């Protein structure tokens, strides 16, 4: 029986806890966050954001490779929103002691914001703007702030350093998902 609360074009949700990428290389995309020096993340964000412009110019940008997989446009919208969300979370970590992040359901967001119907010509500039805001915030992290902590709503604990490494895997992995790289 079909769940009437889930739109027919929704991609099945991802309920994996991806924090394991802090301890081992991703077997899918090959990215190893252990090789990332946290102060490098700002530049990696900028490079990644630039790579999405080419993706958004592809003729297949709206085509899902399978019904259960986002299109390149939907992945790009997700990355845009990840950069915005992580800027907010990083701000909390730098200004509050041990904040708990509000829950964010990426799958609900994709449906509510209608990622599949978004305009690629506006998504690219938004990715770059959100990426630059986040990268600038990472550039501003002082050496004594990399150990500050924050908690995800499910209890996963991050320092600013592990948070930076965890974050960068997401957009790198999604470029791999769409057959691109940064």
User: pTM to 2 decimals?
Assistant: 0.91
Q: Is residue 164 within 8 Å of 36, Cβ to Cβ?
A: yes
Q: What mean pLDDT value characterizes the chain?
A: 91
CATH superfamily, with its number, for domain 40-177: dinb family like domain (1.20.120.450)
Reported as a single tens digit per residue, the pLDDT across 17-28 is 779 999 999 999
Reported as a single tens digit per residue, the pLDDT across 84-134 is 999 999 999 999 999 999 999 998 999 999 999 999 999 999 999 999 999
Residues 150-161: what's their mean pLDDT?
95
Res 12: pLDDT: 58
| Every domain of the chain and the residues it spans | 40-177
Cβ neighbours for 16, distance < 8 A, ≥ 6 positions apart: none
Burial 54-75 (b: 16+ CB within 10 A, else e): ebbeeeebeebeeeeebbbbbb
């Amino acid at each position: 029986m079909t769940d009437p609360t889930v739109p027919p074009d929704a991609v099945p949700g991802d309920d994996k806890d991806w924090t394991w990428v802090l301890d081992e290389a991703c077997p899918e995309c090959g990215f190893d966050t252990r090789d990332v020096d946290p102060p490098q993340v700002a530049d990696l964000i900028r490079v990644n954001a630039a790579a999405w412009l080419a993706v958004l110019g592809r003729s297949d940008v709206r085509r899902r490779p399978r019904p259960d997989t986002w299109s390149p446009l939907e992945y790009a919208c997700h990355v845009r929103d990840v950069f915005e969300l992580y800027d907010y979370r990083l701000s909390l970590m730098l200004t509050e002691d041990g904040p708990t992040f509000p829950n964010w359901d990426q799958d609900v967001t994709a449906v509510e914001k209608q990622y599949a119907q978004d305009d690629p010509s506006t998504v690219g500039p938004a990715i770059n703007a959100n990426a630059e805001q986040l990268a600038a915030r990472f550039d501003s992290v002082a050496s004594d702030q990399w150990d500050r902590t924050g908690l995800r709503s499910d209890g996963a604990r991050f320092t600013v350093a592990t948070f930076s490494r965890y974050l960068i895997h997401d957009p790198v992995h999604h470029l791999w998902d769409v057959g691109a790289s940064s």
